[in-house]
Every structure is written in structure tokens, then in C-alpha cells.
Structure 1
Amino acid sequence: MSSRTAGSRLLEGLVVVEIGTRLAATACGSLMADLGAEVVLVEDKAGPRPERALAAAGKRSLFVDSRDAGDRVVLFRLVDAADVVLLSSDANALDSEIWSRARPERQILCDLTAYGHSGPLAGTAHSEALVQAMAAIADTTGRPDGLPTFTGAPFIDMETAVYGLAAIMAATLVRLRTGIGQRIDMALYDVGVNALLTFIPLVLVDRHATRAGNRHPALATWNAFRALDGWVLICGPTNVQWRKLCTVMDRPALVDAPAFRTPSARVDNVDLLDAHVGAWVAGLTAVRCIELVSAQGIPCGPILPLDAIATEPNLVHRRMVLEASDPLTGLKLRIPGNPIRATGADVPVAKPVPMPDADRSWCLERAGTDTGAVKRVTGDVRLSGRPLEGVRIIEIGMNTVAPLACRQLGALGADVIKVEPPTGDTNRINAPLRADGEAYVYALSNSDKRGIVLDLKQPSDRETLWTLLGTADVVMENLKPGSLHKLGFGAQEVQQRYPSIVYCSVNGFGYDSVYPGRPALDTVIQGMSGAMAATQVDGVPMKAGISISDQLGGQFGLAGTLAALFARETGGTAVHLDIAMQDCSAWATQACWNGQAGAPPVIVAASDRLVAIEGDVSLVPSASTLSAAELVEKARGLGRAAAPILSVKDVMENPQTAARGLLKTVPTADNNEWLVLGSPLKLLSTPAEVRSAMPRLGFVHVELAHELGLPASKTPLTLRA
């Protein structure tokens, strides 16, 4: 079996030139190198970056002076020969020049910027932190009684890198079909707005969507508690879990106490509840507490400090933290492994860091000679169809992870069929609910899909699923490991019958794991991946307000699936992708591993709202007498980048959100309509388009009913909480 067939080099044969200096561009290039592409990192002759090993590992290096005529000839010949070029045009003039110039018709240009190329903020070169301010990421992170908080790791940059990879892979599939490349306009702001999925429903029912600390805004028990030797997360909000937790704590009287008897009562009395749980945890070591709680099947875990990530057993087992020495700077740094892991593929134990090549003959050979025969284009030619038209996806997923991946695949044109059990996706009953009893978060998570209800314990429904699988290209699932295997639909069974199917599994700790069967929730994964340790508020590790681990799991599932489809179409075989949310979340903290994370902006109170300012704010006097807009302008005049800290409601009403098409109202097949999120995948020649929301549970589309021999007029099912 070749390495390509085994799935470790899904992008073998692609040539990528990475010029952009934003972290999103660097991380996207690193992912492509990990997947087998030849990535050439263009570096500035003025001097290497301190974190060069992190940026350059697994790539080739070309040092250039963009002002030198000879260097420019070499660079532009190499750029013209590349399949993919990674840019960040709001950061420097060279990237902007390459974005705008005539290029080979087959080429894919991906520009990763703060706000993209449209809207009133187009071209504004804000940092990740200021985008967090503008996209309400800061306003939804931190203690409810404290200031907005910037995440210590650059999660929006990292999410943009993964979405950028997904968009590039969609464009390569278009190029395979048409021979034509295109430009891609990726914006951190678009990604940040999409990350607000769980907060937008609160605004829609006139509730204030803001910070909840380490608690869940609507569930309890759900918090971080201090043990004798560290921090522990406990997330057990159901009545059954509360009863088991009281048994473990030897507090049986609390089970039926009026303050804690129901889920609503526990939320209403959360301070008292957390005091009881906190007092119990305080008398135990973290390890003992986790042993006791996890034995009852209650999701829990330690909050690992960043320096413990390299020794975390599952991350070690899955080789997610590597070391690399930079021969140029002499520095040894920790660097991440690849979260897109295919079953049976070799997992690298090292990624070499290149020296800059003094001999550029390889570069000129790669570039070849431009005879003028290559057709060149400027701007964007609109191509017919969407990237994934003709591709069928079977989604067997719940909550956020698989639904996120599949709504983006649907926006790219795939025929996504969501398989739900008779009780439905659990998001269908998650508050807040609309007046008709339907859940906002479900609609936001499930656009551009058709649905079918199957009870896989019933032979007839299992046969219906096999019929669907016989027409499918991809299975996307995020159930507990082993659940589908018990029902006869694990990866081995499905690929044995249908070898061409790409099977993508995303779960907390992976199939190949030292924690088989361990339950995982977003907050627990944030704690066990370094994501919480990266953000400290008054010495307390703090989760990101957005569901960063759920989102990254879905995004890597999306990107991995598209890469696997590309590999299948270019001579490889279908693979089983084993993606762990813990891997994805740890990968996203890599900028914090080597002690080089920058200081966050300073938060200053203007007369009407808070403002984030980078640098020395002593140069900005009398802030409280100025409006936020005036303060931002004043800071800019003094050479300080600044941005207002917006709320979720502000973001929803922001002209930039409208200009980028990030919120829109779409119909359902059962004559309803919903406000949903637009796609952040901005392919300019074959745009992703969000066209519909999911209907009620049990509604079967006419075409799907005809295909499967089912009645199309089936009465929608009634959900019970």
C-alpha cells in the first residue's frame, strides 16, 4: 500500500507558495505540507522570525528581497508555477500586488485577511485580537462580572486557516472538473461571526448574549473547580448525572433539595450548587476527583497547563506535539502534529526545518520557462455550478461537530442527507425555542440539508440506510466511538461494502485513543488541550465563550473530507479519517507553546462603550470624554490600532456582517423560514451559497421519498423534551 493510498499524503502533487505573513496563512500552509503538498515558504531576507521553526517545519524555504529586481523575477516565476498561492494582502503590498495581477488561469489564490475584500471594513489590517473585539468573541469570553476577555490563543486565526484549507480543496475539485482555478477571499471576521452560533439564538429571543465564565449559560452543574493540586472540569447537567454526582460526593440530601431538584432549579441556584461541588472537589487531588466522577459516566477532566500538553497521554499517543530545531536560528521549538489523521497512515515523528537554499536552481526548475502560451486572467470569472454538485454526503451526527462540517459541504453544493433517530438531533430541543417549539440553534446548525428519520435498530431502516450509502461519496459522523459499529455501520463495514466512500469520524479523543469510550464535551476538551490554560482571568483558566473545540472538530472534519475527496479523484483510494477534537484544539494553541504569545490589547472605557487599543494607551488622553468612534480615530492618529468591543447584537446589525452575507433568511421545504449563517468559504468563481434550512423532524423531501420508496407526506414528528 502506498503512502498516498494509506492517506498520509492526501495532497501529494500540489505545489503551494506561501507568501502571506498572517498566522492564518502560515497555519494553512503548514496543514497543506502535513498532508503531502510541496509548500515553499517565502521568507524576508531582512531576518528570520523568532518562531521560524513553527512556521517553516515541513516546507521548503526561499529567502527574497521583494525590492530586488532579480529576486522579484525568481519569486514571480515560482508564484506563476504554483497550484496554490497563500496571501494576506492587508498585511503587505507584495501580497496585494500578487492578488491583483494577471495569473495563470488554472491557479488558486487564497487571500486570508482580517475583513476580506468587501464591506466598509475591507482592507483594514486589524490583528486577531481586534477582530475578536469586532466579532464579539471578546464580549462573550470571561467572567460575567468582569471585563471582556481576549483568548490567549489566536483561535480565529487558526479557525480561518482550517476553513481556508477547506476552501482551497473545494477549488481544487472545481479545477479537476473544469481546468480553471479561482481566487478565494477568506476573512477572519467572517469566521468569527460564524463562531457565534450558540449566542445568536439568545439575541433572537431578546436575551443578553454575553459572558458566562466557565459555566454554561443554561445548564448546571457545569464549571471549573479548584482541587488540591489543580483545576477540574465537571459537566453533569442532567437529572441522572446530578443524582450520581450527589452519590459520589456523599451528599444524598442534595438530590431532592428544592434548590436542585430540576435542571431549571439548578441553574437558578447555580452559586449555591457550585459552592457545594467546589467544597467537595477542594478536598481531593485532581486525579482522584476525575477518577470518582468519570466512573459515573459524567463528563469531566483536568485543566492542563500549557507546559503539560507535551506529556498528556492521548496527545503523546497520537503524536500531536513534536520538537523541531531551526538550523538557522539554533532554536528548538515545540511544533504540532497533523490533526487530519487517516486510519492506517503513518504518523510522522518529526518535521524537518529547512535552511534557506543558497542555490536557487531548484526554484527555477520548478518554475520552468514562461513561453507566453499559458492563458492569464485578472479578476474573477463566474463558473456554472457549485464545487460539490453531484457529491452526496450522509450525515449521522448530533449537536455541533458533524452538523457544522455538513452545513458547509451543503453550501458548497453537496447533497447532504441528515439521518436522525426517532427522537431527533438533541439540538432540536435545546433552548431557546421559537414560539412553534422549534430550536434556533438547530436551524443555524443544519442549513442546506435534507433529512430522514431512521431507527437503526430496525431491519427495514437499516436496509434503507444501506440503500442510501450505495449512492454516497462521504459518511460524516460524530457519535460516540463504536456506536455505529455496534449497529453494523462502522467504517470497516461500510468501506468493505462500498470501498469508494470517504468515512470521516470526529469525536473527543479519536478512535486510536488511550481514552476509549470517554465522553467528551466542548468545555472538557478545551480543558484537556491547553485551550483554557491559554486564557487566564485573575489566575483562573478560562474557556473561550465560543465552542472552540466543537467548531474545530467540525472544521477539520470538513477540510479533511475535502482533502480525501481530492485524493480519491487524483488516484488515491477512499480513507477513514480519525479526527479527535482534542488534537484539533491542541493544534490551535501552538502559538502559545514556546512562550512567544503577544500581549493583549488594553481595554479602555469610552463614553458609549469599551474600546480595545493596542500599545501604550497613555498616549490617548481623556478617553472617557470621547465616543468609541472618536477614540478609535484618536488612537489611529497616534499610531495605535484600536477597535470598539461589540456585542453579539451589535455584530448582527453591523454593516460589515450584511456586506459579507453572513446572516440571511432562508426557507424550509415545509413552508417555514429561518435566519441562518452565511458561509465563510468565499470562493469567488464558484461561491458557496446557503439556500435552505432543515424542516421539522420527519418531513421527507419529495425527491428523496421517491428515490427510497417512502411516503413524501409523512406527518412531522412531535418532539418531547
Structure 2
Amino acid sequence: MTSPGPLQGVRVVDLTAMVMGPYCTQIMADMGADVIKIEPPQGDNTRYISVGPAPGLSGVFVNVNRGKRSVVLDLRTDAGRDALRALIGTADVFIHSMRAKAVDKLGFSYDEVAAINPNIIYTNCYGYGRRGPEADRPAYDDTIQAECGIPAVQEQLTGEANYVGTIMADKVAGLTALYATMMALFHRERTGQGQEVEVPMFETMASFMLVEHANGAMFDPPLGPAVYPRTVAPNRRPYETKDGHIAALIYNDKHWNAFIEAVQPTWNSDLYATLERRARQIDTVYGLVAQTLKERTTDEWLKLFNELEIPAAPIRTPDALFDDPHLAAVGLFETVQTPHGPVRFPGVPTWFSRTPGHVRGPAPELGADTAAVLHELGPTTTDAESAAGSG
């Protein structure tokens, strides 16, 4: 784990909290960036939302803030704002997750930050884009899931409106903030020009949901509703077997023909002979397959599907991922020693031949790096205690 990573030398001043922004900057840290997490005196709320080995180090916080440095600044004070301005002068990226009016009130709008550092990449992580009527509304994962149609789609699928069981909006928006920031950095490498980037959760998730669900609604005149029928078919669910459940997708014609030849179900007919025909009656197809898969055990079906190269998998829990032999073989998990004991992180899922990333270290204690980071800025009139609001 000696690679400096592809983002070595990039300094990120990170004013994000919760998950969307911190997930973005966590990946930057894994890839070698120096991520300086600016926290208020009470810390990021995510420090306190789940179990952890010590107060202020919840599992969620520890995972999305690993490898960063924590600097406490009270931005309500002149000393705190002065310290942040000094840091901005050394940074490549400034990223925040405050609403526009809040960051403007503090004096750190794009124009004000660019006046300090014209080449900086300034990334806004918002709930809603500033050019729309909802610009100042607060947003969280649940509300954005609701607005972009996830509970409505779940209702079509299961008969009951529900969120999906993961904070999808936060994570998708975090990944979007990452690629948008990287694109802006790439442009700067070519031209020397900094710029402002905006990543709103609602617009991001609307685009994400409509990748497949736009479907017939994209056309003028519309050719159908905004829904991709396969994903909301009531029979699209893990298949019941003799002794459990299995996930399988017998989808394209190659897989379908191999399955029909091997299993020889009684319902084989021209009605389902092609992907186009199956797609028009996909729920019926799922139902027929479901009845057939009840006839054998999960292991029997997995063996057959593997032989036929049909995508299939057993149903597992998130806990099982920690013991998955494939993930172990590729080295996804990295154990990091911390003052509170070892932490087994789900590490970097990507692979680079020359500059691989890795978990750079544990998540920081609140304000652990305030004095050291401010000292790096050189002689100033701002000391750590006054900047943090404790002096």
C-alpha cells in the first residue's frame, strides 16, 4: 500500500456533512488527496447517528470520513473565517453542502472564494439547483427519494410505497459530485481555469431514475408512461426454490434458449421465443419461471445456471459480504489500526495499474488536526483555539 494515488498533491477543503459530500471526498482521500474536513465545534452530525467504538465515531461517520484531517473552525467568528480563507488559498478544491443563502451569508460564495484563489474548483452540493423555485428548500435522502419517484415505483412493484433500503440519493449524488469535480479538475489541468460546479440531489436523482424509466415518455407525442415495465413487474423478485431463494435473470435469447433446452418446461412456446416477445409480457414470464424454480434446491439451480452461464446468485445479507470469498480474493477489505482498535473498511472497489488507491487511515477525532493544519499555513494572527471558537 505504498502508492500515492492518482490525486496525490490535490488539497480539498471540505465543508460537507452527513453523507453526500463526505462520500465524495472520502473517495478523493482514498485516491491520495489531502482532504481537510472543516467541522463546527459540535462536529458533523454523522458522528453521532450510529454505533461506534467511542463517542463521535459512529460507523457511518468513520467509513465516509476515513483518511481525512479534521479541523474545527467556528465560522461565526472572525478568527474562524480568517483561518478558512487562509486554507482556501492553498486548496485545489473547495466543496460544501450548505444551502446557497447560508454559504453566502458566511462570506464564502464562489465569487468570494475565487477572489482568494482564482484557480480553485468550487463544488456546491445542494438539495435543489439554485436556478429553480425550490432552491432554498432543505433536502435529505428520504425526501429526494420521494420526489424522484422511488416510493411510487416501489408501490408498483410491491403494492406499497416504500423507500429502498439504502441511502441511494445521498450516495448517487456523492458519486456525481465526485465525477463533476474531477471533470472540472481535468479542465483546469488543460487550461489553468478554475470554475464553479453545482450538484443538486433532486436533479441528479431525477436524471438517475429516468435512465430507464423515461422510456416512452421521452418521445413527442409520448409513446407510453415514464416507466420501464420489467423493473416494476410484480413477479420480479427473488425466486423461491425448494429450500430458499435465488436471484436469476434469464434474459437474453442465448440465456433463454439454454434454460429451455436444459429444463424443458411444459410452457415452452413461440409466445416467449424472442426477447422482444418476452419483454411485452415480462410479468407472465417471471411468473412461469417462478413456478419452475420451485422444483429444485437453490444449490441445484446455482450449479445449472453456472454451467449455462446464466447470471444467478444466492440471497445474502450485508453481513455476509465481510466473508465473501471473491471480495476476500480481490482484497476489497482493508484493516486499519486505530486508537480504538482495528477497523475493517470496505475499501477501494476500482483498480489502477500505476496509481491504485487505498484507505489512507482512520477517521479523525473531532478537531484532531486543527493545530497542525493551521501551523502548516505559517505565521498568522489566527491561533487554533480562537479559530475553533474555544479561545
Q: TM-score band (shorter)?
A: 0.7 to 0.9
Structure 1 residue 707 corresponds to structure 2 residue 380: no
**Mapped pair 1:663 → 2:333:** yes
Secondary structure in 1 matching 2:358:
coil
The alignment status of 1:696 with 2:365, answered yes or no, reads: yes
Q: Return 5+ residue gaps in structure 1 as ranges.
A: 1-381
Tell me the equivalent position of 1:430: 49
SS at match of 1:504: strand
Structure 1 residues 691, 632: CA separation in 2 closer, same or farther (over 3 Å shift)? same
Matches within 5 A, 1:282-681: 385-434=4-53, 438-536=57-155, 537-571=157-191, 573-589=193-209, 590-594=211-215, 595-598=227-230, 601-606=236-241, 609-615=244-250, 616-620=289-293, 622-623=295-296, 626=297, 628-637=298-307, 640-668=310-338, 673-681=342-350
Q: CA deviation at 1:461?
A: 1.4
- For the Cα contact (< 8 Å) 1:619–1:638, is it kept in 2? no
Say if 1:604 and 1:561 are closer, same or farther in 2 by CA, change over 3 A: same
Contact 1:444/1:675, CA 8 A, preserved across alignment = no
CA distance in 2 between counterparts of 1:704 and 1:672 reads 25
Say if 1:507 and 1:553, in contact at 8 Å, map to a contact too.
no
- Indicate the residue corresponding to 2:259 in structure 1: none
Q: Which amino acid aligns with 1:558?
A: L
Kindly tell me: are residues 457 and 584 of structure 1, through their superposed partners in 2, closer, same or farther at Cα, counting changes over 3 Å?
same
On the 8 A contact 1:396/1:476 being kept in 2, the answer is: yes
Q: TM-score, normalising length from structure 2?
A: 0.77
Deviation of 1:530 after TM superposition, in Å, equals 2.4
**CA positional deviation for 1:433:** 3.4
State the SS of the aligned residue for 2:124.
Answer: strand
Compared with structure 1, are the counterparts of its residues 607 and 706 closer, same or farther at alpha carbon in structure 2 (3 Å cutoff)? Answer: farther
State the alpha-carbon separation in 2 of the partners of residues 508 and 697 from structure 1.
26
Q: Is the CA contact (8 Å cut-off) linking 2:241 and 2:294 kept in structure 1?
A: no
Q: Output aligned runs, 1:141-160, within 5 Å.
A: none
Give the CA deviation at 1:621: 5.2
Q: 2:369 & 2:346 partners in 1: Cα distance?
A: 23
- Show the counterpart of 2:269: none
| Partner SS, residue 100 of structure 2 | coil
Letter in 1 for 2:240: A
Q: Distance in 2 between matches of 1:521 and 1:476?
A: 18
Deviation at 1:524, TM superposition (A): 0.7
Q: Secondary structure at the match of 2:182?
A: helix
Q: SS where residue 528 of structure 1 aligns?
A: helix
Q: Could you tell me how far apart the structure 2 residues matched to 1:383 and 1:422 are?
A: 34
**How big is the shift at 1:426?**
0.2
1:705 to 1:488, Cα distance in 2 relative to 1, 3 A: closer
Query: Contact conserved, 1:665 with 1:675, CA < 8 A, in 2?
Result: yes
Residue aligned with 1:479, SS: coil
Kindly tell me: are residues 385 and 663 of structure 1, through their superposed partners in 2, closer, same or farther at Cα, counting changes over 3 Å? closer
Residue 171 of structure 2 aligns to a residue in which SS?
helix
* Equivalent residues of 1:454, 1:461 under 8 A apart: yes
Q: Distance in 1 between matches of 2:12 and 2:241?
A: 49
Question: Offset at 1:637?
Answer: 4.9
Secondary structure of the equivalent of 2:70? strand
**C-alpha distance 602-413 of structure 1, shift in aligned 2 (>3 A):** same
How far is the alpha carbon of 1:591 from its aligned partner?
Answer: 0.7
Q: Are the aligned partners of 2:125 and 2:199 in contact in 1 as well (CA < 8 Å)?
A: yes
- Residue 521 (structure 1) shift: 0.8
Q: Is the CA contact 1:550–1:581 (under 8 Å) kept in the aligned structure 2?
A: yes
- What TM-score comes out, normalization by structure 1 length? 0.43
| Paired residue type of 1:416 | V
Say if 1:410 and 1:660 are closer, same or farther in 2 by CA, change over 3 A: same
Give the RMSD, CA atoms, in angstroms. Answer: 2.9
More helix by share: 2
SS of corresponding position for 2:76: coil
Residue 503 of structure 1, CA deviation: 0.3
Q: CA deviation at 1:488?
A: 0.7
Describe the shift of the 1:573–1:436 C-alpha distance in structure 2 as closer, same or farther (beyond 3 A): closer
Q: In the superposition, relative to structure 1, how do residues 631 and 412 fare at CA in structure 2: closer, same or farther (>3 Å)?
A: same
Q: Any conservation in 2 of the 1:443–1:674 contact (CA below 8 Å)? A: no
| Structure 2 gap ranges (5+) | 216-226, 251-288
Task: Count matched residues.
Answer: 331
Q: Distance in 2 between matches of 1:547 and 1:593?
A: 22
Q: CA deviation at 1:431?
A: 2.0
Contact 1:531–1:585 (Cα < 8 Å) also in 2: no
